[in-house]
Each structure stands twice: as C-alpha cells, then as structure tokens.
Amino acid sequence: MWIVRHGQSAGNVARDDAESSGASLIELAHRDADVPLSALGERQSQALGAWVRALPPAQQPTLCLSSPYERSRQTAYAVMSALTRTQDEVIADERLREKEFGVLDRYTRKGIIEKFPDLAEQRKLVGKFYFRPPGGESWCDVVFRLRSVLSDLQRNHAGERVMVVGHQVIVHCFRYLIENMDEATILAIDREGDVPNCGVTEYAATADGKGLALQRTNFVAPLLDTGTPVTRESDRPAGAR
C-alpha cells in the first residue's frame, strides 16, 4: 500500500505568497476542491508516474483511490496514464478529501489571529488533534472517516496493491491508524516537517498477512532521480492545520 500526497498545487504557491507578504487572506481563483496542480506539481506527478511504471508489473498498483479534490485527481491520473490505464480507473472517494477548515478557510496565520483571536486561543488550549473550527473538522474527524476506508479495503480488496492519493493530513491520519499511534506520536511526526509533495509512504503485508508494516516514509527518490524539485509546502498555515 502506498499513501501519496498530491503534487504541488496552485494553493500551496498562493499560501506561500500570502504568508511571505503578510497578507491576511490567501488569494485563490477557485474553491479548495477545485484548486489544480501548479506547473511544478504536474512535473512531480509525472515523475511519480514514471517511477511506478518502472516497477516490476507484479509490484505495480492494482487499485488507485484518490481524494475527489482536483489536485489529487490530477496526481492520480498522471500515475494511471504512466501505466497506460484510463482516468476512469481512478476511484474518487470523498472520505479522502482534505481536512475541512470551516470559517478559517483561506486565512493565513496572521489573518486567523486578527479575525478569530478566540479560536486561535482555543486551538492552543485544545491542540490541533482535537480542535474543530466552526464548520470544519478536527484531525479526529478525519481519522474517523479513514477508519471506514481501511475497513472497506480489508473487506473488498484483500490482496490488492493499493495506491491512495490525498493530502498531508490524510497521510498523517492513515499513519496514525495503520501504525497504532497515539496523539503525541503523530503530532511529533507532524512537527518534524511537512509531507513532501508526491512523497510516498509505503507499507507491505506482515508475514502473517494480518496487518501492514511500514517500509518507508516521505520517499522522494522518484522526483530526485528525474531532477524534479522537491517541495514541502503546507496545505494551510500552521494556525489552521
């Protein structure tokens, strides 16, 4: 099983521009679900696809699931195209969507503190794992929906080689579930740095076939081997993630 973060998106670039300029809002022409890959994100996705294509056929994905958000779908399509398979073979699953930020959507760290100081303080108290902004989700909410994804895979796709393309929080929450982590452990991993765009977290079946064992995390050799820049940009400012 491979869990992959989408390639760099136009939203990643816009967020960096807003943070560096001291703006309160991230300027985007699309709603979050429709934000596409950047030109670099397209290159990263193609590099990922080339790496998957180079795997022996017996080691290539047989099933590809994707967040329905455009940037993830584009990344998954690049992989399927490299395998000469059609876009129709990518299964879009709404449970893999980005964490919902509710009223904090599109605000930078500065904007959140200015417009929602009470929420900023509440988040400091509660912590990002349990904090749910109005109209949004906590990490726990994301974990809850991903539990059912894993159950469906175990029940309906046992024995398949599965690639999941999603978002940074999706990668972390899958790790939390598969590796039986607690809150402190996954948040410590999160503090180490952002998941690279098109970074791969890989699992293999355990010897007894009853579970999954971690093989590697944040694997970016497919990008490095092709000279494609590696980016580690947040999907949202630290104050909202």
Cβ atoms within 10 Å of 208's Cβ, excluding its own: 6
- pLDDT score, position 233: 76
Per-residue pLDDT, 20: 84
Condensed to tens digits (0 to 9), the pLDDT of residues 137-193 reads: 999 999 999 999 999 999 999 999 999 999 999 999 999 999 999 999 999 999 999
| pLDDT the model gives residue 236 | 60
| Nearest-angstrom CA–CA distance, 176 and 197 | 19
CB atoms < 10 A from the CB of 83, how many? 16
166: which residues sit within 8 A by CB, 6+ positions away?
A: 3, 4, 5, 6, 66, 67, 72, 96, 97, 98
Query: What is the separation, in whole angstroms, between the first and last Cα of the chain?
Result: 25
Q: Hey, CA dihedral for 15, 31, 27, 128, is it positive or negative?
A: negative
Which SS3 state, helix, strand or coil, does residue 2 take? strand
Q: What are 29's two structure tokens?
A: 């022409």
Give the pLDDT confidence score for residue 241 in this predicted structure: 54
pLDDT of residue 52: 98
**Which residues of 51-153 form beta strands (DSSP E)?**
63-66, 90-92
Instruction: Give me the pLDDT at residue 235, please.
Output: 72
Dist CA 83 CA 232 (whole Å): 26
Segments of the chain scoring below 70 in pLDDT = 236-241
If DSSP codes are grouped into helix, strand and coil, which group holds residue 84? coil
Q: 201: exposed, middle or buried (C-beta count within 10 Å: 0-12, 13-18, 19+)?
A: buried
Its pTM stands at: 0.93
